[in-house]
Structure 1
Amino acid sequence: MIGRMLMVFRTAFARFARLLVALLALSTGVQSIDQAVAQDKATDRNSGSVVLSGTHWIFQAIDLGEVWWGPARGTEVFLRFSDKRVTGSSGCNRFFGEYTQSGKELALSELGKTRIACDPEIMKQESAFLDLLSGVTEVTFDGQLATFSNPDKGHLVLRRKIIGEPKTQHQSDSRYDRCKQAGGALVGAQNSQCVSHGEVAFSDGRTPISLDQCTGYFDGCNTCQVENGVLKGCTRKACSAEHSAPLCLVGDETLLDGVGRIVERRGRSIEIVFDDIVERFTLKKGLKTTGLEKGDEVFIRYLTSAARQRPKIIEIRRWKMPENGTEQ
């Protein structure tokens, strides 16, 4: 009975999403809803042979059988496929990897991501999304919806992005839009960044940078100078867009955040595992680590550079993500 109810719910959800797509298409240049529906049916007829390369998909829900999750407020989670490459955002970090597709069969490999710590609710979403994505074996299509299926853990439901469609409410409520509405300074390629109150927010949803500890930052294209939390100026290299995760610079070094697990500790040397990769760090002299033990999940802030043999941790604290998604 529960299984049949879920199937009915999924069908209703798909129909609602397809109607929404038709309405969006109408607002972005399609002449009528009938024309949008006709295009949608044409996609249905070819649903078994949709090629992912060159497409962009917006996250709608995580389907765990008896539980459905929607995107966390203020985040845009998406997948973008090009020739054998997949990139995207999980709402906090950018990820990247490779993929192969044969009809409905899909395999992703060599997945990696940036290591920025975000609010606990967003980190919980990111963990669930990437965990499901890494084990996807099949993709099926229903109009403008795609279901990426992980046979062991559940399904990801995404909607194909329509070129020129307006932002949804949760996207328009981003830090960038709030900064822009408050009169923040617009900089970067195509005014893609907004600077206000010691923070840089990005229009494409990349994680904002606090300028409090930075002497500069790299936006994926240009390098900007910061003094006492105030933006002083940027280089003017011509770029169509900034593609990589923004980086906080401290002198000749890069300041990074991450969440990992302690696997070894010897004096000021500490080993932390991120996504099954173990990295060795040096603790800042005098840094308090009272109560931290092997196996603890920790948030770290560290400095790294080409000249430094090991990254240096300047801040470390316990990080725990319980079931309710609130940090302890």
Structure 2
Amino acid sequence: MNKFLKKIIWISFICFYSLQIKTVQAIVPYYYFPTIKNLQKQSSYIGNNAYQLLYFGQYKDSLNLAKLAVKINSKDEKLWLILAEAQIANKQYKNALNSLNKAEKINSNISEIYFAKSNIYLKISQQSKAKSALEKVVKIEPNNHKAIFQLGNILLMEKNYLGAIKLFDKSVKIKPDFWQAINNQGLAYFEKNNINLSIKLFKSAISIQENAEPLLGLASCVRINDPKLAIQLAKKALAKDPKYVNYDYRKEQLWGEKLQVSTEILLQNEQLKNDVMLAKSKISESS
């Protein structure tokens, strides 16, 4: 009997101990520690969301998400690029350059880094640095027509018209329907007093895309020899994009002084008076 009681007590003790272990396991919380791979996936997801917000013009929200993505994973150069784009959109140019430098340290063979740098340098009027950055883009991607075009634009700013024309021509050979480069060749040739070639180039750009810039450029070219056509083209250009009524806006689009003078004379034509007033009023409303 004594032995039997001892056996029962021993079995009861084992059962009680097992029950206590289960109870403790139920009380202690379970912690999930994410792996590096999961963190990287999460940061990429957040980075993509930041980029989408940037696309839809939600610049501040995009910036906050991009910062979070970089905090989670600071070794992904793509996330630094997204952060830099968000910083540029928020006009934080110094911070954007720092982000791009960090991206460059991770991977110096990404052309987008230098293209973004060139855009910042142009915004802060550091043309020589912008040129150097674009040259790095072309070194990585010799057929990057946009980078070649931007280099041409810098030469256009420097009034190196022949150099600009060569680069625009190179850009068009890579991408034949690149109407912006064709248009800017027209701008350059006008400053070289080759009006006939400017006319040809503006017409060529219009045949690809009927944009306000080549329309008004062509109007300014033909205002003396064909004033009726010039009026028609100018009306169409101002209706498409009223901002081209503004001298300073055209200057931002790299219009040279000779073309500016011709355009100002054209826009003073009495037949364009209402169109000019309407364009200016639309600019005022949107500002």
TM-score, normalised with respect to structure 1: 0.24
Structure with the higher fraction of residues in strand conformation = 1
Q: Greater helix percent: which structure?
A: 2
Q: Which has the larger radius of gyration?
A: 2
Query: What TM-score do the two structures reach when normalised by structure 2?
Result: 0.27
Q: Which structure is higher in RCO with an 8 Å CA cutoff and minimum separation 6?
A: 1
